[in-house]
Structure 1
Amino acid sequence: MYLCVVASLLLIVTARETESVSPCPVKSFIWGPGLNPKIVLPARYFYVQTVDSLGHNFTSSPGENVFQVKIFAPGEQHSRIWVQVLDRKDGSFIVRYRMYASYQKLQIEVKVKDVHVAKSPYVLEGPVYHESCECPESRPSEWLRHMKCPKSIPQIQHDLQLFQTVDLDRIAKEIPSRFGQRQSLCHYVIKHNKVYLKTYGEHVGFHIFMDAILLSLIRKVKMPDVEFFVNLGDWPLEKRNPGKNLHPIFSWCGSNETRDIVMPTYDLTESVLETMGRVSLDMSRFNLLERKGQSEERLELVKLARQHPHLIDSQLYGPLVKQISFFDFFKYKYQLNIDGTVAAYRLPYLLASDSVVLKQDSIYYEHFYNDLRPWMHYIPLKSDLSDLLEKIQWAKENDEEAKKIAQNAQEFARSNLMGDHIFCYYFLLFQEYASLQVNEPKVRDGMEVVEQPKDDLFPCACPTELVCCNPLKFLFQWAYHGYQRVGW
Structure 2
Amino acid sequence: MMKTPWKVVLTVGVGVFLLSSCPSLSASEQQRDVDADKCLIWGPGLIARVVLPVRYFFIQAVDSDNQNLTDSVGDKAFSVNLYNSQTGAGVRAWIQVLDRHDGSYIVRYRLYESTKDMKVSIMYNSKHVAQSPYSLNGMVYHEKCYCPAKDITKWLKTMNCPKTYSQIEEDLSPFTTVDTDAVANSAINRFNKAGMHSLCQYRIIDNKIYRKTYGQHVGFKMFMDNILLSITRKVTLPNMEFFTNLGDWPLEKRKISESPIPLFSWCGSNDTRDIVMPTYDVTESTLEMLGRTTLDLFAVQANTGPKWEEKTQKAFWRGRDSREERLQLTVMARKHPDLIDAALTHMFFFPKNEEKYGKLVKSVSFFDFFKYKYQVNIDGTVAAYRLPYLLAGDSLVLKQESSYYEFFYRDLVPDVHYVPFKRDLSNLLDKLKWAKDHDDEAKEIAKNGQEFVRQNLQPSSIFCYHVILFQKFAKLQKSAPQSADGFELVPQPDGHDAYCDCTRRKKKRKEEL
* Deviations 1:165-192 (CA, angstroms, capped at 9, x unpaired): 0001211222111111241000000110
Note if 1:462 corresponds to 2:483.
Answer: no
- Structure 2: state its 5+ residue gaps: 1-26, 320-324, 342-357, 506-513
Equivalent position of 2:180 in the other structure: 168
Equivalent position of 2:132 in the other structure: 120
Equivalent position of 1:360 in the other structure: 400
1:292 to partner: Cα distance: 3.6
SS in 1 for 2:116: strand
Note if 1:311 corresponds to 2:332.
Answer: yes
- Structure 1: state its 5+ residue gaps: 1-15, 466-488
SS in 1 for 2:397: strand
Moved over 6 A (4+): 16-19
Distance in 2 of aligned mates of 1:232 and 1:197: 13
Equivalent position of 1:90 in the other structure: 102
Distance in 1 of aligned mates of 2:359 and 2:67: 46
Equivalent position of 1:236 in the other structure: 250
Note if 1:383 corresponds to 2:394.
Answer: no
Q: Greater CA deviation, 57-66 or 208-217?
A: 57-66
Residue of 21, 44, 66 corresponding to 1:33 = 44
Question: Do the aligned residues in 2 keep the contact of 1:264 with 1:422 (CA within 8 Å)?
Answer: yes
Question: Do the aligned residues in 2 keep the contact of 1:301 with 1:335 (CA within 8 Å)?
Answer: yes
1:306 to partner: Cα distance: 3.8
Equivalent position of 1:486 in the other structure: none
- Counterpart amino acid of 2:489? V
> Across the two proteins, how many residue pairs are aligned to each other?
450
Question: Do the aligned residues in 1 keep the contact of 2:308 with 2:394 (CA within 8 Å)?
Answer: no
Instruction: Return the structure number with greater relative CO, CA threshold 8 A, min gap 6.
Output: 2
1:279 to partner: Cα distance: 3.3
Equivalent position of 1:157 in the other structure: 169
Give the CA RMSD over aligned residues.
2.0
Equivalent position of 1:11 in the other structure: none
Equivalent position of 1:334 in the other structure: 374
Note if 1:394 corresponds to 2:434.
Answer: yes
Residue of 258, 262, 271 corresponding to 1:257 = 271
Distance in 1 of aligned mates of 2:440 and 2:161: 34
Residue of 280, 284, 287 corresponding to 1:266 = 280
Q: TM-score, normalised by structure 2?
A: 0.84
Q: Greater CA deviation, 441-450 or 306-315?
A: 306-315
Note if 1:63 corresponds to 2:83.
Answer: no
Distance in 1 of aligned mates of 2:381 and 2:452: 25
Residue of 175, 193, 199 corresponding to 1:185 = 199
Kindly tell me: are residues 296 and 290 of structure 1, through their superposed partners in 2, closer, same or farther at Cα, counting changes over 3 Å?
closer
1:294 to partner: Cα distance: 4.7
- Counterpart amino acid of 1:170? A
Provide the identity percentage: 51
Distance in 1 of aligned mates of 2:472 and 2:393: 33
Distance in 2 of aligned mates of 1:302 and 1:115: 44
More strand by share: 2
- Counterpart amino acid of 1:335? Q
Superposition pairs of residues 103-114 of structure 1, within 5 angstroms: 103-114=115-126
More helix by share: 1
Kindly tell me: are residues 391 and 448 of structure 1, through their superposed partners in 2, closer, same or farther at Cα, counting changes over 3 Å?
same
Question: Do the aligned residues in 1 keep the contact of 2:315 with 2:432 (CA within 8 Å)?
Answer: no
Question: Do the aligned residues in 1 keep the contact of 2:313 with 2:374 (CA within 8 Å)?
Answer: no
Distance in 1 of aligned mates of 2:307 and 2:208: 49
* Deviations 1:169-221 (CA, angstroms, capped at 9, x unpaired): 21122211111124100000011000000000000000000000000000000
Kindly tell me: are residues 20 and 447 of structure 1, through their superposed partners in 2, closer, same or farther at Cα, counting changes over 3 Å?
closer
- Counterpart amino acid of 2:125? K
1:338 to partner: Cα distance: 0.6
Question: Do the aligned residues in 1 keep the contact of 2:139 with 2:504 (CA within 8 Å)?
Answer: no
Q: TM-score, normalised by structure 1?
A: 0.88
Equivalent position of 1:472 in the other structure: none
Kindly tell me: are residues 186 and 265 of structure 1, through their superposed partners in 2, closer, same or farther at Cα, counting changes over 3 Å?
same
Question: Do the aligned residues in 1 keep the contact of 2:30 with 2:70 (CA within 8 Å)?
Answer: no
Kindly tell me: are residues 19 and 413 of structure 1, through their superposed partners in 2, closer, same or farther at Cα, counting changes over 3 Å?
closer
Question: Do the aligned residues in 2 keep the contact of 1:18 with 1:62 (CA within 8 Å)?
Answer: no
Question: Do the aligned residues in 2 keep the contact of 1:17 with 1:60 (CA within 8 Å)?
Answer: no
Question: Do the aligned residues in 1 keep the contact of 2:30 with 2:69 (CA within 8 Å)?
Answer: no
